[in-house]
Amino acid sequence: MRTVRNCDVTNKKVLVRVDFNVPIEGGTVTDNTRIRASVPTLEYLLERGARLACISHLGRPKGKVVDAYRMDPVALELSRLLNRKVVKLDDCVGDAVKEAVTFAGPGTVLLLENVRFHPGEEKNDPAFAAELARGFDLFVNDAFGAAHRAHASTEGVTHYLPSYAGFLLEKEVSVLSELLNAPRRPFAAIIGGAKVSDKIEVITNLLQRVDLMLLGGGMANTFLMAKGIDVGRSLAEPDKVGLAREILARHSQVVLPVDCVVAPSLDADKEARVVAAHQVPPEFMILDIGPETVKMFADRLRRAGTVFWNGPMGVFEKDAFAMGTYGVAQAVAGLEARTVVGGGDSIAALQQSGLSDRIWHISTGGGASLEFLEGKVLPGIARLEDEQS
């Protein structure tokens, strides 16, 4: 894969696709993780005399201008992190943008307006992609979190400019490729989240590679049903029970919860109790894995050489049902293995526990990392590997 190391950027006008889709409250960025992740690439380019214009999406404005999704708060945070002025423009295409790019001096950082304000972005419209590229010399993609989207600013623009990967995208591909092709053994995966259908492809692909797979969250309920266990009123997918039964029959490395935290409803947290997985009351719902399961998972992980974790173990948003996710976070952070964590809730549990710095790699791309581990070709990456015309 071609990276920024493979090109001379001195005095070049460089369009950099970043993933600055960050939470904003009251006009302030509340979590700058994704912005910080691209700083090494931006600083590398600036130190070598490039003139930068960063472009990103923010939220889902669906091709229309939505003031709540403007990039102004991001510009302020990026300026603080780079310790230099960042000029925010009011659009990402047009003559005003090209003029600003043309007259920018070496070391300049422009932040273009939300690319999803234009319908041509998500449609990967060639004319819009060509307009994005107009006036630039090079394109650098450092937005791994958007690499699974064939959009104008991720895939389309590569047809008009020499294109390279930034350090963040390069590292994500390197780490996830190692998981698929050469993990340190034993290789364990922890998969949570609500539905089997959301992650069946990554589960199926990883089962060909892992020595251990621990399942939690709502998806584990479907697997419990496949073993003939009554899960009460829990979230489950009865239409996927047959598939779950087939997976359990073929793969002995799959481990399910042995106890769980249940309650009559999400709002009845004061009635929460721990029960054995096979003793869920008919009127109750499984909302988290229980303490015995956390202990069992931690014990099984202790010998691992590589661990991949994606997805919460319960309804993480509620304190009464977050202990399973926190427990797994503590177990993973305490390992000497190569640990890789992706997914918003999993990362949030690490951050809130102060454990992020004890993880070998935190992936910035939830959907992108899962699709990569499913074995899919990501359009935003494929063009950085192909010979370009």
Known catalytic residues are 34, 195, 344, 367
| Residue 29 burial by Cβ neighbours in a 10 Å radius (0-12, 13-18, 19+) | buried
Cβ within 8 Å of residue 51, ≥6 positions away = 11, 12, 13, 14, 101, 104, 105, 106, 107, 108
* String of DSSP letters for 70-121: -SHHHHHHHHHHHTS--EEPS-SSSHHHHHHHHTPPTT-EEE---GGGSHHH
Q: For strand 338-342 and strand 306-310, is the pairing parallel, antiparallel, or unpaired?
A: parallel
Rounded CA-CA distance 284/228 in Å is 17
- 3-state SS class at 302: coil
DSSP conformational letter for 374: T
The token pair at 80 is 């603080």
Across 126-230, the runs of DSSP E, i.e. the strands, are 138-141, 163-165, 187-191, 212-215
**Helix or strand (DSSP H, E) at 263:** strand 259-263
Task: Confirm if 204 and 189 have CB atoms less than 8 A apart.
Answer: no
Rounded CA-CA distance 133/14 in Å is 10
The position carrying tokens 């972005």 is 121
Task: Confirm if 365 and 139 have CB atoms less than 8 A apart.
Answer: no
DSSP conformational letter for 3: B
| Residue 82 burial by Cβ neighbours in a 10 Å radius (0-12, 13-18, 19+) | middle
Four-point Cα dihedral 167, 59, 205, 228, nearest 10: 150
Largest CA distance in the chain: 70
Rounded CA-CA distance 389/386 in Å is 9
